Structure 1
């Protein structure tokens, strides 16, 4: 009863409610797209784009922009499109392009913050950005509305284009033969991924965003076999882990991002055990 009373007390604060709303929406969007990225063997794009977002955020911080989204979102979307083009170029393979862009953006972002930042604790600021220590608990009402708006757009696009995305995910050649413009939907997937990465930075930090994309999808695949079953179960797993991670971090005073990812890891191990037993 003491824990429930403590939770009810925390939920009376607006910043906790804002964190839960944003966390649920971000987790839901990440899980929907994560299944497609994992099946296309392109889930590593999350790491690359998260590092790009960190570099753009460093520039926005140095420029003292009131809303970092103005710079971070367009830069991350542009890099997602460039990665898609690189993946279609035989001279530069997709994984090599992601690795090159990821390391370069991370190094340049850290260098820019060290050279131009006026903060007295540059290392602390960088650590907070990379691991999302408490940024999800400092969201304003405007931040929440931006998150709600972008999440609604992402989910609407996914559900409206569900059958096309399904076809492109499993067989691009067949999808193209049936008249589906696979390149357009790959471009759409890349842009949506960039949007989700930027939103997820507030929840778990730039280094851990790919966990929100990969873990729920892999957990669902241990138990279910149909695409729709994996999509629905991944969404449930992701939302439960996000809410549980945020509440545990508040009660135990642990970093939000790391706690959410630890919850995702625990559920993944549990699903692996359930999958092994069911196969036997």
Structure 2
């Protein structure tokens, strides 16, 4: 039985590749901004968009995109102006998004909360041609933003105050990052599901960071890991009849563990070498690696 003999699996594999590229591509900026769970919050809000799609009898991908973008903008506004009550407002936004999705599906004629399961946890058999078209368009937007504006987004993610002093439109770039994250969530929801999408944004980046400290290298390795695990998880799901989203995330975590185990001895060896150089009174030699890392990151 060849996996490519089935139309729905060809669509699922294409969607998996696009998800594997886009999720780590925006996830690296969320990790740099110390907002690794932003994708999880947007995923909760997107549930209302999915429910709205069912109610209006339209594509849930597009309605989820619209609602997710609105939710992401609200999250940024709360981050700017929320101050001490910001966490409470964000919690209400997240839980309200979940409740809204369940409520909208329940009032849809002929609808039930079971209809949400393929969007919550991913489903290979339900990826339609229209879904692939929507995912392709949205994925192209994510790639253009994350690659085309990588220097600006990196600067803002590292130090907002410094970026503002250099003349960058910090608030506009922050909003663009939030909107791109929202679009990525809707790209990924048909493959890994809204509940697990945040893991695919964060874990490949964390795994890549075990191998390099360069931003550019981390970006490339994280995307490579993303594509590898989404394709592997999709194929495994087909042959073993297991949930695709859970399979992909577990493979990603397993790869992170393996890379961490391999990288830890190397990191200790480099640390001992630096310590030995310091004790030998050769500060110039010790300063070279740190300077090289900084240059590589700045050249992202």
When the two structures are superposed, what TM-score results if normalisation uses the length of structure 1?
Answer: 0.90
1:146 CA displacement: 2.0
Q: Aligned partners of 1:105, 1:197: CA distance in 2, in Å?
A: 14
Which position in structure 1 is the counterpart of 2:18?
Answer: 25
Which position in structure 1 is the counterpart of 2:261?
Answer: 273
1:128 to 115, 118, 136: 118
Contact 1:87-1:93 at 8 Å conserved across structures: no
Contact 1:33-1:213 at 8 Å conserved across structures: yes
Report the more deviating stretch, 39-48 or 69-78: 69-78
Indicate whether 1:86 and 2:74 are aligned. no
1:137 to 125, 131, 136: 125
Q: Aligned partners of 1:172, 1:11: CA distance in 2, in Å?
A: 47
1:272 CA displacement: 1.6
Q: Aligned partners of 1:207, 1:169: CA distance in 2, in Å?
A: 25
- Counting only pairs closer than 5 Å after superposition, residues 10-159 of structure 1 correspond to structure 2 as 10-65=3-58, 67-91=59-83, 95-119=87-111, 122-132=112-122, 134=123, 136-159=124-147
- What secondary structure, in the 3-state scheme, does the structure 2 residue paired with 1:138 have? coil
> Which residues of structure 1 form unaligned runs of 5+?
1-5
1:95 CA displacement: 4.3
- Counting only pairs closer than 5 Å after superposition, residues 104-253 of structure 1 correspond to structure 2 as 104-119=96-111, 122-132=112-122, 134=123, 136-253=124-241
1:107 CA displacement: 2.0
Report the more deviating stretch, 222-231 or 104-113: 104-113
Report the more deviating stretch, 217-226 or 244-253: 217-226
1:224 CA displacement: 1.2
Q: Aligned partners of 1:130, 1:77: CA distance in 2, in Å?
A: 18
Aligned length: 268
RMSD: 1.7
Contact 2:47-2:100 at 8 Å conserved across structures: no
Superimposed CA distance per residue, residues 56-92 of structure 1 (whole angstroms, 9 cap, x where no aligned partner): 2112212322x22342211110111111011011435
Contact 1:83-1:94 at 8 Å conserved across structures: no
Which position in structure 2 is the counterpart of 1:3?
Answer: none
Report the more deviating stretch, 137-146 or 190-199: 137-146
1:157 CA displacement: 1.9
1:235 CA displacement: 0.5
Q: Aligned partners of 1:194, 1:57: CA distance in 2, in Å?
A: 13
Q: Aligned partners of 2:108, 2:133: CA distance in 1, in Å?
A: 31
Contact 2:72-2:182 at 8 Å conserved across structures: yes
The change in CA–CA distance for 1:207 and 1:240 in structure 2 (over 3 A counts) is same
When the two structures are superposed, what TM-score results if normalisation uses the length of structure 2?
Answer: 0.84
